């Protein structure tokens, strides 16, 4: 087992740093531990998701956010499904606002895509809605409200869906990294406006997060292929995520990270899911 440590910085620094520290030699042990709570859902499964207020303490600080969460988890439950399946989500809205869940990137029935006024009505506070989700394509998708994202998404309403391909998967380990930022003032969120007062879906934050944490760590196996699914759920910020591949072997990636132009493109594309396949034969690697 080895340790992947990610460090996020405060005060509007857009660069996310990753430090990989390998502490043991190569093993054949397969690690499939997600950093957020994962749920494997078979075809026809019914899964319940409740959006509700919660408190969210940022580790290593006095900050306790008055947040919203899906099933009291930030990020929300990681839904693991197989390509070609259908599941049902029994959604309950317990936040004091109307909301919906939009299933970002999914190619499925329009009526369940969660866009109020276009494909469905608001799910008013105290009520629910059953979503039918289909997964014709593999990859990483995510879900979030489609109502006042500047408040609801900022407060913690987001989660990921990992759709396993029907084709062979060569990765020994797969991890989902969700990048976010939050704007803190004192010990809580900076106040929100009654009306949307920023372009896009909100504001820049001053604390950076990976999977809801400021000091995210992850165990990985040395020498085995590691596939990272990276998703940006920040309301407006493009992250400058780059990876130094010194002594490591890139098996597969969607973009050539050594190319500065593509690096900029990657920053922008992180608004959607990006997939990286990596392998690290040597002892230490620094990602920046
Ligand atoms: Cu979206």
Range of the domain at 140: 2-287
Rg (CA), the chain: 19
pLDDT of residue 34: 37
The pLDDT assigned to 210 comes to 85
Task: State percent of the chain over pLDDT 90.
Answer: 48
| pLDDT per position as a tens digit, 63-84 | 999 999 999 999 999 999 999 9
Task: Give the distance (Å) from ligand 1 centre to CA of residue 20.
Answer: 30
Residues 23-32: tens digit of each pLDDT:
334 444 333 3
The per-residue pLDDT for 244 is 45
Determine the distance separating the centroid of ligand 1 and the alpha carbon of 108, expressed in angstroms. 14
Distance 164 CA to ligand 1 centre (A): 20
The stretch 147-163 carries a mean pLDDT of: 95
The Å distance, Cα 158 to ligand 1 centre, comes to: 10
Query: Using one digit for the tens of pLDDT, what is the confidence trace for 199-251?
Result: 667 899 999 888 988 877 766 666 677 788 888 899 888 876 655 444 444 44
For ligand 1, the distance from its centroid to the CA atom of residue 103, given in whole angstroms, is 7
Confidence grade of residue 103 (pLDDT, cut at 50, 70, 90):
very high
Question: Sorting pLDDT into bands at 50, 70 and 90, what band is 197?
Answer: confident
Question: pTM of the predicted model, to two decimals?
Answer: 0.79
Ligand 1 centre from 25 Cα, in Å?
A: 40
Q: Where is pLDDT greater, at 182 or 285?
A: 182
Task: Please report, for the domain that includes residue 97, its CATH number.
Answer: 2.60.40.420
pLDDT at 10: 32
Q: What is residue 195's predicted lDDT score, i.e. its pLDDT?
A: 78
Most confident listed range (59-73, 116-130, 158-172): 116-130
Total structural domains within the chain? 1
Average pLDDT of 120-137? 97
CA of 3 to the centre of ligand 1 (A): 31
């Amino acid at each position: 087992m080895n340790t992947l440590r990610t460090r996020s910085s405060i005060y509007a620094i857009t660069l996310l740093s990753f430090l990989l520290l390998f502490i043991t030699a190569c093993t054949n042990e397969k690690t499939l531990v997600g950093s957020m709570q994962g749920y494997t859902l078979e075809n026809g499964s019914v899964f319940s998701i409740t959006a509700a207020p919660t408190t969210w303490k940022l580790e290593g600080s006095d900050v306790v956010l008055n947040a919203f969460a899906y099933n009291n988890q930030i990020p929300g439950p990681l839904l693991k499904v197989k390509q070609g399946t259908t599941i049902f989500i029994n959604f309950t809205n317990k936040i004091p606002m109307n909301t919906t869940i939009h299933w970002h990137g999914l190619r499925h029935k329009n009526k369940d895509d969660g866009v109020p006024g276009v494909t469905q009505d608001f799910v008013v506070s105290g009520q629910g809605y059953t979503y039918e989700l289909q997964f014709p394509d593999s990859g990483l998708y995510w879900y979030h409200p489609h109502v006042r994202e500047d408040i609801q998404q900022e407060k913690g309403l987001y989660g990921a869906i990992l759709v396993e391909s029907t084709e062979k998967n060569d990765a020994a380990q797969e991890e989902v990294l969700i990048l976010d930022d939050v704007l803190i003032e004192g010990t809580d969120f900076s106040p929100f406006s009654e009306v949307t007062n920023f372009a896009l879906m909100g504001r820049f934050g001053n604390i950076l997060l990976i999977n809801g944490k400021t000091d995210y760590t992850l165990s990985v196996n040395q020498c085995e292929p590691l596939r990272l699914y990276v998703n940006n759920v920040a309301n407006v910020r493009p992250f400058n995520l780059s990876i130094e591949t010194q002594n490591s072997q890139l098996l597969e990636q969607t973009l050539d990270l050594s190319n500065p132009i593509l690096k900029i493109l990657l920053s922008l594309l992180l608004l959607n899911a990006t997939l990286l396949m990596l392998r690290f034969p040597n002892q230490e690697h620094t990602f920046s």
